[in-house]
Homo-oligomer: A and B are copies of this chain.
């Protein structure tokens, strides 16, 4: 019996999340006997809850092809809506929506939280006697999905592109720093990855021979502002310049608190950026009078830029999307598609699967063994791991009148079949 399929995205986007979506779309087309129509939920779980489903089979083929090179999640949207375990009503609504639209296959592209959601949805459907096959597609620039031993998954799609972003922009920053450093000159860059240091670690790929004075401050490194200033000042005495890549999760203590005019701490978004605190601290502690520390926060650009995407990552993201569909057809529910690395010299990826519950809600860190003894750098083993993931080519991004030509799908939701529903989390603050 033919069933429909549903794909949804969750969490922060990546430069290649659309490539995985592309893989899911194309692979679904390979199973015309099993899959009637593939829908996308507009903005993830919120779209499912509100029955906002887009018919992907009605989109122009040439537009779909642009998914591969379009960064971030503007195509079908993603969501940060978090379903809590106790919100049984909302899980039930999700299953209801799927049932109403005869969804037999659910592909969920996301990080560890999302794998938990996919797992719970599959379980609940099973309990209700509904035949729903849920399969996860990994996605996170943080590379924190999977086990600490890299046996279940070698890396997540999105990480290679974030790593390439950092390798390239740190190369650019070296040119800047070297160019203006007539005296002591420090460039501080803040990288994403609140708890796992894989992203700032990739800055090392800009200078694998360690000639340019890059210091890495990963969350795992355990440095303090004091030890950071000491290290930077030592390096300035040696070469007059330094590039500091600091994780947004680096602990700056109370110095990160922005104060209002009365000295009261301003909470939330008002916190000072870690890079700014670090630059301020350096300017006040040790830098010579002519010296200067400047700071940059590229922010979401590291997850929404396609020209720095890795072609290796693009291809793998596409393949892992395809793999999820194949798993759904051949193995059934409760899996996440994975990328693994063949042993031996020369990089080669292959695709496999892992049970959703094995990856749900576990966050992996940069392995201790990949940190150098001074905890300011990563080892050559890390370089050997990460280098192949950034690829050796520029991606192709079509320009039209000088502008990047990104995908623009027709966002027309199909006719709803159930009563309207307001997501639970919105009810308290609705109308605020």
Task: State the A residues within 8 Å of B (CB).
Answer: 12-13, 43-44, 46, 70-75, 77-81, 164, 167-169, 171-182, 187, 205-206, 254, 257-264, 266, 268-270, 272-273, 276, 279-280, 283, 288-290, 292-301, 303-308, 387, 390-394, 397, 399, 401-404, 406, 426, 429, 432
Contact = CB atoms under 8 A, between A and B. Distances in A.
Contact of A182 (B12, B77, B294, B403): B77
Given A273-B273, A283-B269, A402-B392, A178 B74 contact: yes
B429 A402 contact: no
A262 B261 contact: no
A80 B303 CA distance: 33
Given A78-B179, A280-B269, A300 B187 contact: yes
A426 B288 CA distance: 11
A173 B269 contact: no
Copies, count? 2
28 contacts: A71-B175, A71-B176, A72-B179, A73-B176, A74-B176, A77-B178, A79-B180, A80-B180, A80-B182, A168-B404, A169-B305, A171-B404, A175-B304, A179-B304, A206-B403, A258-B259, A259-B260, A259-B261, A269-B279, A269-B280, A290-B426, A294-B300, A296-B297, A296-B299, A307-B307, A307-B394, A387-B401, A393-B399
A175 B72 contact: yes
Given A172-B72, A173-B301, A399 B392 contact: yes
Nearest to A431: B288
A81 B180 CA distance: 10
Contacts of A305: 169, 172
Contacts of A307: 168, 307-308, 394
B73 A171 contact: no
Given A77-B179, A172-B72, A298-B301, A402 B164 contact: yes
Nearest to A290: B429
A262 B254 CA distance: 12
Given A74-B175, A78-B180, A270-B280, 16 more contacts: A13-B179, A71-B176, A73-B176, A74-B179, A187-B300, A205-B402, A261-B263, A263-B264, A268-B283, A289-B432, A296-B297, A296-B299, A297-B299, A298-B301, A392-B401, A393-B399
A43 B178 CA distance: 10
A394 B392 contact: no
A77, A288, A299, A391, most chain B CB atoms within 10 A? A299
Contact of A300 (B74, B268, B296, B301): B296
Contact of A169 (B172, B301, B392): B301
Nearest to A80: B180
